[in-house]
Chains A and B, each alone.
Chain A
Amino acid sequence: MEITFSNAGIFLIFFTIAFILMDEYIAKPWRRARLERLAKTDPKVREALAVAARVAAREKGAETD
């Protein structure tokens, strides 16, 4: 198949959307689960998750206010 500006552009748009969806719905939950597992043994990971929880709570509070 000959590649042209149009079909290259369409492919890249699909690639971008697919990648964002993959990161949001597959990679992110997987990363989160992995970190929670690591947090049991690694204090640095535990601290990072604690900071993330604090920031999330703060952001949620700001939204509620």
Chain B
Amino acid sequence: MSGSGTSSPEEKAALYKVGDWLVDNRGWVSLITIAFTAFMAYEATKLQMFTSFGELLPYNHPFVSVHNKYSRQFGGANNITIMFEVKDGTIFNKDTLTKIFKATQEVDVLPDVNHDQIDSIGHRTTRYLTMQGGSISSPPVMRRPPVTEKDVEQIKNIVHYSENIHGILVSLDDKAALIRANFHEGRIDYRQIFYDINSKILEPFQDANTKIWVAGEPRLYGWIYRYSNDVFWILVVTYCIEWVLRWMYFHDWRGSLRPTITGLLAAIWGLGFINLIGFALDPLMLVVPFLITARAVSHAIQMHDRYYEEYQKNDWHKRKAIVAAFAELFVPTFSGIVTDALGVLVILLIPVVMLQKLAITASWWILAITVSEVLLNPIVYYYLRAPEPEMVMLREEGWFKRFMDRVTDLTLSKTGQAVTVVFWIAVAVLSAIFLRGLTIGDPTSASPLLWLDSPYNQSHVRIQQFFGGVEPLIVVVEGREKKALQDPSALEAMESFQRYVDSDPDIGYSFSLADIVKSINMVFFDTEPRWGVIPGEVARIANLFFFYFAGSPPSETSKYLDPSYTNGHVTFFCRNHQGDTVARIIERCREFIAKFPSDKVDFRLAGGLIGVTAAANEEIVRNDILMNVLGLATIYLILLFTYRSFTAGIYMLLPLFVSNGFVNAYMSVRNIGVNLHTLPVVTVGIGFGIDYGLYIVSRIIEEIRISGSLFDAVKTALCTTGKGVTFTAVTMVMSTMLWTTSNIRFDAEMGGLLAMWMGVSFIASQTLMPVLILIFKPKFIMREIPQATERAGAATA
């Protein structure tokens, strides 16, 4: 019997004993497995699909601390924007204004809405300044829908004379109006909000002349929930295609069923575990569990292929073949699973709750494959009828085997070796050149989670066209003492900061307490623009605030400043959240803070969508290289212990380096930015990519112990194990590519990138790695030759 991996004869004998023990004790092992699987299946049925915006934020970033502290008061990142656009005329008519008023009321009763953070000309908190009876007052723009044309005219005048409304809540051409609402962060029911907006706002208020556009994070997640059913189409199609392909490969339904059992068991245990520890399935991360299941199926295909081989080698004795397949493939399969699991566990280091949850659940899920694939394997084979010998023999004569033999001959020929090395050097160099253009953050102005032509992104773009910036960056102004914001120098610092930062071309407009003070002051002087200044005395500013806020409840004033006049904010509405735009605006904020320190207030960065996006981008820059290094280092360590060699890791990691470079270059060329969602691709890809190398190198070692010839060992490994690796790689790449049809662009791109990752690492493992092994004759393989020689000598004696 041949050896495999790096197991010594004693270790191998022990593995044979374990295999025998599993078959002997199949009854109660099966019972325990069935009972545990039933329990996990019950837990899996209770699993919910859920996304929390807060879990996407890097929780230890200072921006996120500021965001979390002030989001309830000054507005968070969970905003929805509804735009009413009229085709003919303007919004100033009884019908449209009534629609806006009624729609605003509907928004005010949406689940989890922050009632004090709604901006609309139809909402009580949107007020204007006026002089009434010698005193200033700030009544709402609309107390009720307009009844007469005079009411319409009055509303129109108010809007046109209010700086905080015209151009901000009503477009400058009067053809569109906005309703903006903020939602409490936490467990928001995005599905319900999506459904409510459709049934209570879009359906009743949209007609031939009125088009309604909806954007913002809650709407975006609503669409993602709606599209998440795509996973079932992809699952069904993948299952059927893979089932047929495996049947064609093995010529037997058992060859299709066995990997399915492995995948199904791992999936039930994985899903049950997610529910047991109180997590939920994130629709954005569905591609990862899918890949893990596909990975389980791949390991099972390797095992099934080996079972066929051992069945023939062991003179068609089923039990001997079962135990031999288990013992011979234990090391590469187990190492492969552990590297997959630990590779994914590295994601735990990113301080983002969603990714940490992904790391925990995916690692457990992958480890469950150890049981479903390695330990249960002998038992499942025992219960299934053995394959027909004629099928096992004749499939070795099939076209796929002939194809593999031909490709291997070409690759391992002298010319083939030279071409292989030159080709991969060229790929590495070109990748290094192109990946320099890789961007951090979103390279597009719309949401990268959905396709550009999706209804959501069309809405987003349309709203941007009318109102410029709709994505808020909230900079909190913290006073150093109480009533600090009544001090002229504090307000002047806010105004200077506002002017300094909003000169950036990607800021649509900005708003701060200084704007309110200037507006109120102007009203006292018959709205003369020259009086639109910040008064120089504390008492006068305090009076202005009193006049303005006296008629409003504290819940309405709290969105501008706190009751002690200590903390306020400057909000910039940005045109997009592209990576470079966010970085530039944040840099400009930091520049001002460093250049012009105030002795009254401190500027704290930063809340709102742009603030938390900046935090995420900065965290990506910090973690991207770390993830790559740690992912590869973890795998290197496992390979070091598995093969007891410092060089084994280098040979097997080389295909992964090339794949990583290639995929990053592709992302750069296709303008796909590195963001929190694409970050796990590297570690998941590394974990899965290494499996191909593991199987091939283990087989080379196994064969060199028998033949004593490196060339023959490499050739046999590529023609036998390499055949299984090729089949699993092709099916994996095919099934992962199906994700590119998803309506969720993020899933589609992640699926596409992972397919590319696996495809490139497979080709490199099948060509570059064996060629390098032949050229450099590594010691960790060559040292196995004497054992073969000794064995040959013993046999002769």
- B776 sits at the interface (CB 8 A): no
Could you tell me if B239 and A3 are in contact, using CB atoms closer than 8 angstroms? no
B251 neighbours in A (Cβ, 8 Å): 31
Q: How many residues of B contact A (CB 8 A)?
A: 23
Could you tell me if A51 and B316 are in contact, using CB atoms closer than 8 angstroms? yes
Among candidates B232, B253, B390, residue contacting A20 with C-beta atoms closer than 8 Å: B253
Among candidates B240, B316, B391, residue contacting A15 with C-beta atoms closer than 8 Å: B240
- A2 sits at the interface (CB 8 A): yes
Could you tell me if B256 and A51 are in contact, using CB atoms closer than 8 angstroms? no
Could you tell me if A52 and B389 are in contact, using CB atoms closer than 8 angstroms? yes
Could you tell me if A44 and B316 are in contact, using CB atoms closer than 8 angstroms? no
B429 neighbours in A (Cβ, 8 Å): none
Nearest-neighbour CB distance to chain B for A65, whole angstroms, equals: 15
A48 neighbours in B (Cβ, 8 Å): 389-390, 393-394
Could you tell me if A16 and B260 are in contact, using CB atoms closer than 8 angstroms? yes
- B651 sits at the interface (CB 8 A): no
Could you tell me if B394 and A4 are in contact, using CB atoms closer than 8 angstroms? no
* Alpha-carbon gap, A47 to B233, bound state (A): 45
* Alpha-carbon gap, A29 to B251, bound state (A): 13
The binding surface of chain B is classed by DSSP as helix
Could you tell me if A16 and B257 are in contact, using CB atoms closer than 8 angstroms? yes
* Alpha-carbon gap, A2 to B229, bound state (A): 8
C-beta contact mask, A21-59 vs B, less than 8 Å → 1, else 0?
001100000010001000000001101110110010010
Which of A15, A23, A47 has most chain B Cβ within 10 Å? A23
Closest A residue by C-beta to B388: A52
Residues A19 and B236 in contact in the complex (CB < 8 Å), given A2-B229, A35-B394, A49-B390: no
Residues A55 and B389 in contact in the complex (CB < 8 Å), given A3-B229, A23-B252: yes
Closest B residue by C-beta to A47: B393
Closest A residue by C-beta to B49: A5
Residues A3 and B233 in contact in the complex (CB < 8 Å), given A20-B253, A23-B252: yes
Closest B residue by C-beta to A38: B394
Nearest-neighbour CB distance to chain B for A32, whole angstroms, equals: 9
Among candidates B239, B260, B389, B394, residue contacting A44 with C-beta atoms closer than 8 Å: B394
* Alpha-carbon gap, A13 to B393, bound state (A): 31
Could you tell me if B232 and A19 are in contact, using CB atoms closer than 8 angstroms? no
Nearest-neighbour CB distance to chain A for B633, whole angstroms, equals: 39
Could you tell me if A4 and B260 are in contact, using CB atoms closer than 8 angstroms? no
Q: Which of B181-238 contact A (CB under 8 A)?
A: 229, 232-233, 235-236
A44 neighbours in B (Cβ, 8 Å): 393-394, 397
Nearest-neighbour CB distance to chain B for A63, whole angstroms, equals: 12
* Alpha-carbon gap, A25 to B260, bound state (A): 21
- B243 sits at the interface (CB 8 A): yes
Nearest-neighbour CB distance to chain B for A10, whole angstroms, equals: 11
Nearest-neighbour CB distance to chain A for B381, whole angstroms, equals: 15
Could you tell me if A23 and B240 are in contact, using CB atoms closer than 8 angstroms? no
Nearest-neighbour CB distance to chain A for B540, whole angstroms, equals: 63
Among candidates A4, A5, A24, A49, residue contacting B253 with C-beta atoms closer than 8 Å: A24
- B247 sits at the interface (CB 8 A): yes
Closest A residue by C-beta to B45: A5
Could you tell me if A20 and B394 are in contact, using CB atoms closer than 8 angstroms? no
* Alpha-carbon gap, A12 to B236, bound state (A): 7
* Alpha-carbon gap, A50 to B143, bound state (A): 94
Could you tell me if B388 and A8 are in contact, using CB atoms closer than 8 angstroms? no
Residues A51 and B389 in contact in the complex (CB < 8 Å), given A16-B260, A19-B256, A45-B394: yes
Closest 9 CB pairs of A and B: A48-B390, A23-B253, A8-B232, A48-B393, A52-B390, A55-B316, A3-B232, A52-B389, A20-B253
14 more A-B residue pairs beyond the given contacts A2-B229, A4-B229, A20-B253, with a C-beta to C-beta distance below 8 A: A3-B233, A4-B232, A8-B233, A15-B239, A15-B240, A19-B243, A19-B253, A31-B251, A44-B397, A48-B389, A49-B390, A55-B316, A55-B389, A58-B316
A-B contact pairs, 8 of them (CB 8 A): A2-B229, A3-B229, A3-B233, A8-B233, A12-B235, A12-B239, A16-B260, A51-B316
